[in-house]
């Protein structure tokens, strides 16, 4: 019975032309990345409420499902059934395109993220550049949302975001140039393989200032606390998404959390050796802890994702001029100085260049 | 028609349609967004030409940074459409002139009279590279060897332009009050509060 079903399935599969098969195969792989990612997004919202709850001596959501585990599902259902209200004098099309523009880059960037050795959707040569380009167009969603809403709070927020993201992107780009200099490649897999050899060989050590700048710029880029002037509840109600409701509103949050996971994953890949084991070289090569694994990558990304939540519970919001000062006058000089230091290290053959 | 041809025609028509949108739309914000779309579809065409470094840089620099600042300015303008329409006919002439000149240049470069390496005739000799080919490396190699002088000069010109732009717009207004975050961060607790002894005064 099952065999005949399988045979029919294979017949149907063979019936597709070869190009179509490739296409279906790629779509399947995309779904294999996106569905767990969206699940992670749902549960990082839950983790955030729980973690911040415990940090503030509260319990957090614990009513829906076992200990609150169904809370994100309940939230999603609630938002899906709410009406999406379009303000009368808004720019209707742009108003609806904005959430799409904000989630698209956050998801598309995962195309070049390697999860394990050889487990990557597209192993392109310019992977790092691709990620940088995609994270830079994420700002359009916010800017267009702010403008199309035809609301003063929303536009103030979108102007803040525009300036902030452009400022921090430069520091972020320079930090990535540091990684590029260390690995000699823009390919994500090559960058990770360049850090082989245990915890001491990770780029975080020779590039520590770059790591620092990159991660903090990542927090600023995702408009998270303490850089969340875009939302600034106390000043501009909710910022760029003040006019949004229902699923359109939820998509901005999906994008924000997808970006958090993306930045965490990238930091793990670029500075902490991605899927490589920290015990490589310390333990015997056939020891179960010394091998490469997706779980190392996942654990490292989780550490950074936790930091995002931790920052939100810890730091008060930056003032806007302080944000600008930190981006332009602190981070960019730090990265430029460290690029020069790196150049000297390359010539002197210390650090990852010693080999 | 192969899939590459299909993609080319898709993005080429997208580029033309969005470029028309830039000039045709009444709202400047829409124009700027159409320009963004033009850049993105251009980048897609460059990708088809195996120029992935240029394509991604186009998106990164023009879409990710330049157009964001552009939108920024346009969004803050209070534009009256009627005023924008004024002088349409006179601008039309200048516009056509510029468009014609650009068309002539393009025909010269691509057509049979132009340089041999770029024309349509050169297309027949073009070969597809393998998957290992890295456009980034190829560009880097040529930029830092054959054209290193020109490249460095361009870099210096850009640096000068940055400094000039900053010094043109930087103006110090001594009469305004503003905070200095650097000073605020450096402040110590004993500087925040000063306790002064003073004698009690009698109310009058």
DSSP for A247-269 reads HHHHHHHHHHHHHHHHHHHHHHH
Query: A236 versus A214: which is more confidently predicted?
Result: A214
| C-alpha to C-alpha distance for B181 and B203, rounded to whole angstroms | 41
Looking at chain B, which residue has its C-alpha nearest residue A137?
A: B64
Residue A250: partners with Cβ closer than 8 Å, 6 or more residues away: A75, A76, A79, A80
Summarize the confidence of residues A247-272 as an average pLDDT: 89
| C-alpha to C-alpha distance for B20 and B2, rounded to whole angstroms | 27
For residue A162, give the nearest of B59, B68, B135 by CB distance: B68
The answer to whether residue A121 scores a pLDDT higher than 70 is yes
For residue A166, give the nearest of B57, B65, B135 by CB distance: B65
| C-alpha to C-alpha distance for A125 and B53, rounded to whole angstroms | 9
Query: How confident is the model at residue B122, as a pLDDT?
Result: 65
Chain B residue numbers touching A94 (CB-CB < 8 A): 29-30, 33
Cα-flanking dihedrals φ and ψ of residue A121, to 5°? -65, -55
Chain A contact residues (CB < 8 Å to B): 19, 91, 94, 124-126, 129-130, 132-133, 136-137, 139-140, 143-144, 146-147, 155, 158-159, 162-163, 165-166, 169, 186, 319, 321-322, 325
Whether the CB-CB separation of A135 and A164 falls below 8 Å is answered with no
The answer to whether residue A355 scores a pLDDT higher than 70 is no
Residue B53: partners with Cβ closer than 8 Å, 6 or more residues away: A126, A129, B135, B136, B139
Query: How confident is the model at residue A346, as a pLDDT?
Result: 83
C-alpha angle B110/B114/B119, rounded to 5°? 40
Low-confidence winner among A198-207, B83-92, B179-188 (lowest mean pLDDT): B83-92
Percent of chain A with pLDDT over 70: 97
Structural element, H or E, at residue A124: none
A139-143, B20-24, B36-40: which has the highest mean pLDDT? Answer: B36-40
Chain A residue numbers touching B136 (CB-CB < 8 A): 125-126, 129, 186
What does the DSSP 8-state code read for residue A327?
I
The answer to whether residue B75 scores a pLDDT higher than 90 is no
| Intra-chain end-to-end CA distance of chain A, in Å | 59
Whether the CB-CB separation of B181 and A325 falls below 8 Å is answered with yes
With an 8 Å Cβ cutoff, is B154 touching chain A? no
Q: A125–B134: do the CB atoms touch at under 8 Å?
A: yes
Q: B60–A186: do the CB atoms touch at under 8 Å?
A: no
Q: B52–A158: do the CB atoms touch at under 8 Å?
A: no
Chain B residue numbers touching A108 (CB-CB < 8 A): none
Q: A126–B69: do the CB atoms touch at under 8 Å?
A: no
Whether the CB-CB separation of B63 and B41 falls below 8 Å is answered with no
Q: At what angle do helices A71-80 and A18-55 cross, to 10 degrees?
A: 110
Chain B residue numbers touching A147 (CB-CB < 8 A): 29, 71, 75
Chain A residue numbers touching B56 (CB-CB < 8 A): 126, 129-130, 133
pLDDT tens, residue by residue, B54-66: 888 888 888 888 8
Chain A residue numbers touching B169 (CB-CB < 8 A): none
Q: A166–B69: do the CB atoms touch at under 8 Å?
A: yes
Encode A109-121: b = buried (16+ Cβ within 10 Å), e = exposed: bbbbbbbbbebbb
| C-alpha to C-alpha distance for A193 and A97, rounded to whole angstroms | 39
| C-alpha to C-alpha distance for B88 and B181, rounded to whole angstroms | 49
Query: How confident is the model at residue B5, as a pLDDT?
Result: 82
Residue A28: partners with Cβ closer than 8 Å, 6 or more residues away: none
A34-38, A62-66, A318-322, B84-88: which has the highest mean pLDDT? Answer: A34-38
For residue B75, give the nearest of A126, A147, A319 by CB distance: A147
Summarize the confidence of residues A168-173 as an average pLDDT: 87
CA dist list (Å): A139 to A5, A62, A70, A84? 48, 34, 31, 22
Q: A125–B65: do the CB atoms touch at under 8 Å?
A: no
With an 8 Å Cβ cutoff, is B53 touching chain A? yes
CA dist list (Å): A273 to A120, B94, B203? 15, 57, 74
Q: In angstroms, what separates the C-alpha of A37 from chain B's closest C-alpha?
A: 25
* 3-class secondary structure per residue, chain B: CCHHHHHHHHHHHHHHHHHHHHHHCCCHHHHHHHHHHHHHHHHHHHHHCCCHHHHHHHHHHHHHHHHHHHHHHHHHCCCCHHHHHCCHHHHHHHHHHHHHHHHHHHHHHHCCCCCCCCCHHHHCCCCCCCCCCCHHHHHHHHHCCCCHHHHHHHHHHHHHHHHHHHHHHCCCCCCCCCCCHHHHHHCCHHHHCCCCCCCCCCCC
Q: At what angle do helices A208-221 and A246-271 cross, to 10 degrees?
A: 180
Cβ-based neighbour number of residue A89 at 10 Å: 8
Query: How confident is the model at residue B184, as a pLDDT?
Result: 79
The answer to whether residue A340 scores a pLDDT higher than 70 is yes
pLDDT band at B165 (very low <50, low <70, confident <90, very high): very high
Structure tokens at B106: 């393009």
Query: How confident is the model at residue B150, as a pLDDT?
Result: 92
CA dist list (Å): A320 to A163, A220, B98? 10, 12, 43
Query: How confident is the model at residue A208, as a pLDDT?
Result: 87
User: Please, how many CA atoms are within 13 Å of residue A165, restricted to the half-sphere of its CB?
Assistant: 31
Cβ-based neighbour number of residue A192 at 10 Å: 25
Q: In angstroms, what separates the C-alpha of A125 from chain B's closest C-alpha?
A: 6
Summarize the confidence of residues B70-77 as an average pLDDT: 82
Summarize the confidence of residues A137-153 as an average pLDDT: 85
Q: A125–B33: do the CB atoms touch at under 8 Å?
A: no
Q: B56–A319: do the CB atoms touch at under 8 Å?
A: no
Query: B50 versus B38: which is more confidently predicted?
Result: B38
| C-alpha to C-alpha distance for B180 and B184, rounded to whole angstroms | 6
Chain A residue numbers touching B134 (CB-CB < 8 A): 125-126
A232: left (phi over 0), alpha (psi -120 to 50) or beta: left
Whether the CB-CB separation of A273 and A198 falls below 8 Å is answered with no
């Amino acid at each position: 019975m099952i065999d005949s079903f399988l045979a029919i399935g294979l017949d149907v599969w063979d019936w597709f032309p070869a190009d179509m098969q490739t296409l279906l195969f790629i779509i399947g792989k995309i779904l294999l990345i996106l569905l767990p990612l969206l699940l992670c997004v749902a549960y990082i919202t839950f983790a955030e409420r729980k973690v911040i709850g415990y940090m503030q001596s509260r319990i957090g959501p614990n009513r829906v499902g076992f200990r609150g585990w169904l809370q994100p599902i309940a939230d999603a259902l609630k938002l899906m059934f709410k009406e999406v209200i379009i303000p009368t004098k808004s720019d209707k099309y742009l108003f609806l395109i904005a959430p799409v523009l904000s989630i698209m880059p956050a998801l598309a960037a995962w195309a070049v993220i390697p999860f394990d050795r050889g487990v990557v959707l597209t192993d392109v040569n310019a992977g790092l550049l691709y990620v940088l380009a995609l994270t830079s167009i994420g700002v359009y969603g916010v800017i267009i949302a702010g403008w199309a809403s035809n609301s003063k709070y929303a536009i103030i927020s979108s102007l803040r975001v525009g300036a902030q993201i452009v400022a921090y992107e430069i520091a972020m780009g320079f930090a990535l140039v540091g990684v590029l200099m260390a690995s000699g490649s823009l390919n994500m897999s090559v960058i990770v393989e360049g850090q082989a050899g245990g915890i001491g060989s990770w780029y975080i050590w020779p590039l520590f200032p770059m790591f620092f700048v990159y991660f903090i710029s990542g927090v600023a880029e995702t408009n998270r606390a303490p850089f969340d002037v875009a939302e600034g509840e106390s000043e501009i109600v909710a910022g760029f998404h003040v006019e949004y409701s229902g699923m359109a509103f939820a998509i901005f949050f999906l994008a924000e959390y997808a970006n958090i996971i993306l930045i965490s994953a990238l930091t793990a890949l670029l500075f902490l050796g991605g899927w490589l084991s920290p015990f490589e070289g310390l333990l015997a090569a056939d020891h179960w802890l010394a091998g490469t694994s997706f779980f190392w990558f996942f654990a490292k990304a989780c550490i950074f994702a936790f930091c995002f939540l931790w920052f939100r519970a810890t730091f008060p919001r930056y003032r806007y001029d302080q944000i600008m000062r930190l981006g332009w006058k602190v981070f960019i000089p730090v990265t430029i100085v460290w690029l020069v230091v790196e150049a000297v290290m390359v010539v002197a053959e210390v650090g990852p260049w010693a080999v | 028609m192969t899939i590459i041809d299909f993609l080319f025609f898709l993005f080429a028509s997208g580029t033309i349609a969005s470029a028309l949108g830039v000039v045709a739309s009444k709202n400047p914000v829409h124009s700027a967004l159409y320009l963004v779309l033009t850049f993105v579809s251009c980048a897609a065409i460059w990708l088809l030409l195996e120029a992935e470094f240029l394509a991604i840089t186009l998106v990164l620099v023009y879409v990710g940074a330049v157009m964001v600042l552009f939108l920024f300015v346009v969004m803050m303008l209070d534009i009256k459409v009627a005023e924008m329409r004024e002088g349409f006919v006179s601008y039309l002439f200048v516009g056509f002139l510029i468009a014609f000149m650009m068309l002539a240049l393009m025909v010269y470069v691509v057509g049979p009279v132009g340089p041999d390496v770029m024309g349509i005739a050169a297309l027949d000799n073009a070969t597809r590279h393998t998957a290992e080919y890295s456009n980034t490396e190829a560009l880097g190699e040529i930029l830092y060897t054959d054209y290193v002088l020109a490249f460095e000069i361009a870099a210096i010109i850009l640096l000068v332009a940055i400094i000039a732009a900053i010094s043109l717009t930087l103006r110090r207004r001594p009469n305004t009050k503003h905070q200095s975050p650097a000073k605020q961060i450096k402040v110590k607790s004993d500087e925040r509060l000063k306790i002064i002894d003073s004698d009690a005064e009698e109310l009058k």
